[in-house]
Structure 1
Amino acid sequence: MSDMPNSYPKSLFYNQHGAVLIVVLLFLILIVLVGVIAVKQSTTDLKLATSDQINTLLLQSADNANQNIEQSINGGSETSIYRDMLSRSGPFGHFMLNADSNNHEYVFCFRPRNRFFDINKASILTPSGSLVDNGYCDPSKSDDYISARNASMAQVSISLNPPSPTDEPFKSYTIGQDSSEISSQAFTFDINSTAVLPAYADTKLGNEDCFKKTSRFYTVSNDKDTIGGCMAKAGVPSAVIYEMVNVENQSKRTKCVEFGKGSGKLCTLPTN
C-alpha cells in the first residue's frame, strides 16, 4: 500500500500545483476589484454628502438674508433699522423717494454678526455704471462673512420689479386711497440674495469681480454677466434665492375721521 502513490504520474502533481496558482491569482484579482469598487463608491458617497452640505449651507445663508429684510420692514417703525431701510439712502427708500431710480439696483453685503445692513456700505448699480461702489462683498474681509468660520457670504440685490403687459391695471394703488397721495402707492421689489463659498475658487473671472455683476438677468444677454452665472463660470459654489415683495409707504397717510366728529378725510360719506 505504501508504494501506491509512486504509481501516479509526476505530471499530474505539477498540473495540480499550477491550477492552485491560477485560482489564487483569480482570487487576488477579485479582491483588488472589490477594493477598487469600494473606494470609488465611498468617494462618490463622500462627494454626494459634501454637495448636499454645500447646498444646504448656501440656501440657509441666502434665506437668512431674506428673513432679516422681511423682519426689518414688518417690525416697528420706531426702530433704527426700519428707518434706514426706508430712508432716501436705504434699499427701499431709494426707489420710493427718488423718481429717477427705476433702472437702479441697490446692492449690499449681508453681515448678520453685527447689524445686517449698514447704510454707509452700499452700492447702487445703474445702466451706465456704479453710483456708489462700497457695498459689494469682499472675500478678503473677515467681517463680510456670515459667521466667524469665514465659510459663506451673501450679497443682496434689490430693484424695482419691471412692468409687464400682463399686470393688473392700477395694481400698485391701495384700494380706497386717492392716487394723488404718495401713501396710496405700493412698490413691488425684486430681491435676489446670492450666497457663495469663496474658499472653493476665486470669485474673480479674469479681471472681473463676480460680486459686481448684476442680478437682473433680463438686462443682459449673456449669463456670465450676472453674479450667479459669473460664479458658476469661475467654479465658485453659489445659490440665489429670489423673492418678490410689496412695500407701501404709509408715512404720509391721512387718518380718516367719522362724519361730524372732526376735520379731515371722511371715512364714509354722510347719509343726510
Structure 2
Amino acid sequence: MSNNQRYRQAHSIAPSSHQQGAVLIVVLLFLVLIILAGVIAVKQSTTDLKLSTSDQINTLLLQSADNANQNIEQSMNGSSDADAYDAMIARGGPFGHFILTNYSVENEYAFCFRPRDQLFNINKTTILTPDGTITNSGYCDTTKPDDYVSSRNTSMTQVNVSLTPPSAENEAFGSYTIGQGSDSLASKAFMFDINSTAVLPSYADVGDCFEKTSSYIPRTDAKKTIGGCMAEKGVPSTVIYEMAEVENQSLRTACVDFGKGSGLLCTLPAS
C-alpha cells in the first residue's frame, strides 16, 4: 500500500471521530438536564410534603384548642343540674373562683384539658396570683399520658381563665343583669378571657412554658406568655382566645300596660 493510500485511508476516518465526540457532548448535556430536572422534582416534592405536614399540624392544634372551648360552652349553657356545670361555678371552679370571691380579681385560673377523664377536675388546678401560685397541680405535664387529649399522646391543651380587664369603652352598668337588684351577687355579669393553648410536645421540650401567663395585658414581653414561650422553644402551638360573659338569667317577665283589655297581662314571680 502506498503512502498516498495510507494517508487517504487515515483521512477518511477523521470525520467519524468528530461525530462521535459531538454525540458524546450532546448525551452528557441531556444527562445534566435530566439530573437537574430530578433534583428540582425532589425539592418540589419535599416542599409539598412540608406544606402538607404544616397544614396537618395546624389543623390538629386548632381542633385540640377549639375542642376545649366548645366543651366549656356546652357545660355552661347546658343544664344547671349537670355535674360539669356545678364544677364550673363552684368556689373552686374556673368561673366560681372569680364570681364567689372578692380577692381573685387579678388571679389567673389554669387547668389541663383532659376530655378522656373529665373536662375539669377541681383537684387538678392552678391559681396564679400576682405574688405567686396558690395551687400548682393544674399545669399540663408532658410526662403524664393522661394529660394528652387522646390516647395517641400527640397533643395537649391547657386552659387559662381570667377576668377581662376593665375598659373605659365598656357600657355603664353593662355588668348588671336586667331585672335584678344591684346589691345582689346574682345581679352581676362577669366577663372572662379564656385562652386555650394546644401544643405538640414531641417536636421540642416545652420546659416551663405552661407555667407562664396566657394574658398579654399588662405584659409587654410576648416571651413571658405561654404562646410566646412555645414559639421561642420551637414547639408547634395554637392559642384560641375567647371572651365569655357569664351571668344569671333573670326569670322575671316584663309587663307593659297598654291601657286596654281586662285581667292580668303578666305576673312577676315573688323575689
Common fold: TM-score over 0.5: yes
The gaps in structure 1 that reach 5 residues or longer are 266-272
1:46 to 2:45 alignment: no
Find the aligned partners of 1:166 and 1:247 in 2 and give their Cα distance.
19
Which residue of structure 2 lines up, in the alignment, with residue 120 of structure 1? 123
In the alignment, what sits opposite 2:92?
89
Would you say the 8 A contact 1:255–1:264 is kept in 2?
A: no
| Pairwise CA distance, 1:254 | 8.2
The answer on whether the counterparts of 2:252 and 2:269 sit within 8 Å (CA) in structure 1 is no
Shift of 1:249: 3.9
CA contact (8 A) 1:96 1:187 kept: yes
The DSSP-based 3-state class of the residue aligned with 2:76 is helix
Q: Which amino acid aligns with 2:91?
A: R
Q: d(CA) in 2 for partners of 1:14 and 1:242?
A: 76
Could you tell me which of 148, 169, 173 is aligned with 1:170?
A: 173
Q: Which residue of 1 aligns with 2:258?
A: none
Match of 1:57 among 56, 60, 65: 60
Structure with greater Cα Rg: 2
Equivalent residue letter for 1:43: T
Q: Does 1:192 align with 2:195?
A: yes
Structure 1 residue 183: Cα displacement: 1.2
Deviation for aligned residue 1:176: 2.7
Superposition deviation, residue 166 in structure 1 = 0.9
Query: Which residue of the partner structure matches residue 269 of structure 1?
Result: none
Any unmatched runs of 5+ in structure 2?
A: 256-263
State the match for 2:211 in structure 1. Answer: 212
- Pairwise CA distance, 1:263: 8.7
Distance 1:23 1:238, change over 3 A: same
Change (3 A) 1:262 1:141: closer
Partner of 2:243 in structure 1? 244
- Taking the aligned partners of 1:202 and 1:66, their CA distance within structure 2 comes to 25
The alpha-carbon distance between structure 1 residues 263 and 57, as it changes in their structure 2 partners (threshold 3 A), is closer
Amino acid at match of 2:231: A
RMSD between aligned alpha carbons?
A: 2.3
Q: Distance in 2 between matches of 1:33 and 1:254?
A: 75
Is 2:19 aligned against 1:16? Answer: yes
- Contact 1:158 1:192 survives alignment (8 Å): yes
For residue 123 of structure 2, give the secondary structure of its aligned residue in structure 1. Answer: coil
Q: TM-score, normalised by structure 1?
A: 0.88
CA distance in 2, matches of 1:116, 1:11: 88
Q: For residue 28 of structure 1, what is the aligned residue in structure 2?
A: 31
Letter in 2 for 1:28: L
| 1:35-62 deviation line (CA, Å, top 9, x unaligned) | 1001000000000000000000000000
Letter in 2 for 1:221: T
Structure 1 contact 173–179 (Cα < 8 Å) conserved: yes
SS in 1 for 2:160: strand
Which contiguous aligned blocks of 4+ residues in structure 1 show a shift greater than 4 angstroms?
Answer: 5-8, 253-259
8 Å CA contact 1:223, 1:229 repeated in 2: yes
Q: Determine helix, strand or coil for the equivalent of 2:94.
A: coil
Query: How many residues are matched?
Result: 256
Which AA in structure 2 matches 1:59? L
Q: Which moved more, 1:49-58 or 1:110-119?
A: 110-119
Q: Distance in 1 between matches of 2:15 and 2:268?
A: 122
The amino acid of 1:222's aligned partner reads D
Q: Counterpart of 1:26 in structure 2: which amino acid?
A: L
User: 1-side partners of 2:74 and 2:269: how far apart?
Assistant: 35
1:264 aligns with 2:270: yes
1:137 has 2:143 as partner: no
Q: Secondary structure at the match of 1:99?
A: coil
Seen in structure 2, the aligned counterparts of structure 1 residues 80 and 31 have a Cα distance that, compared at 3 Å, is same
Equivalent position amino acid for 2:241 in 1: Y
